[in-house]
Amino acid sequence: MVKRKETDLYSYGVVLLELITRKKPSDPSLPEDMDLVSWVRSIWNNSKTIEDIADPILLKEFRDPMLKKEVTLVLLLALECTAKNPKVRPTMEQIVTLRLRFKRNHT
């Protein structure tokens, strides 16, 4: 497999999804015809709610609205990084800029 920045960004998005869901990319708990990315994307497209996607342990922390907002933004970033079309994925520079801007606005 040839490593390209598009592949690395896709993998970065998958890691973010793993952190939010505590599921592996091909977790046995997922429907048979779905991987982690397609499962999250399907749920998000239907409900647009982080509570349907995040791990139950993480859900307990959502009493803090800032944390819920932060996790939702990370989820959206992960979905951008795992876009089917590599040309529409953000660059790592864009990702870092977004994260720094959010951190600066919320500290």
What average pLDDT does the segment 42-57 reach?
A: 95
**Does residue 104 come out as left (phi exceeding 0), alpha (psi in the -120 to 50 range) or beta?**
alpha
For residue 103 the two structure tokens come to 């951190």
Fold of 5-105: Transferase(Phosphotransferase); domain 1 (1.10.510)
Distances (CA, A) of 65 to 28, 60, 86: 31, 11, 32
Place of tokens 């960004």: 9
Q: pLDDT for 55-101, tens place per residue?
A: 999 988 888 888 898 899 999 999 999 999 999 999 988 988 887 88
In this prediction the pTM is: 0.86
Say which residue, 105 or 75, is predicted with more confidence: 75
* Higher-confidence position of 77 and 7: 77
Return the number of other C-beta atoms located less than 10 Å from residue 70's C-beta: 15
- Residue 3 is predicted with a pLDDT of 55
Supply the Cα-derived Rg of the chain in whole angstroms. 14
Whole-number pLDDT of residue 98: 83
Cα(73)–Cα(27) distance, rounded to whole angstroms?
23
- State how far the Cα of 36 lies from the Cα of 42, in Å rounded to an integer: 10
Domain ranges for the chain, please list them: 5-105
What percent of the chain has pLDDT above 90? Answer: 64
